[in-house]
Amino acid sequence: MDFKVLFTTFATIFLAELGDKTQLATLAFSAETKSRVSVFIGSAGALVLTSLLGVLLGAAISRLIPPHFLKMGAGVLFVILGIWMILFPGSK
């Protein structure tokens, strides 16, 4: 096991997830119910499943497209989405 990759991945995902829609939704669900363990298990399971899908898709796509192109494509997509959100904020 590559612990450097493990800790880098953990830190990056942990910081990226702080304060995002998923955390806010989990907070709202937890506030509405007494069964906080169920909310934790449901949200943790969903995050694990989406991470599994990301790993499987990343492994499959990296066989077809070199990883540096994937990183560049992801960066370009984030920039495009950021510009889109600035130009079209969605509220009137």
Give the pLDDT of residue 89.
80
Give the pLDDT of residue 31.
92
Give the Cα separation of 3 and 13 in Å (integer): 15
Give the Cα separation of 53 and 60 in Å (integer): 10
Q: Indicate left, alpha or beta for 20 from its phi (over 0: left) and psi (-120 to 50: alpha).
A: beta
Give the pLDDT of residue 92.
59
- DSSP 8-state symbol, 35: -
Residues of the chain with pLDDT under 50: none
Interhelix angle 36-64/67-87, nearest 10 degrees: 120
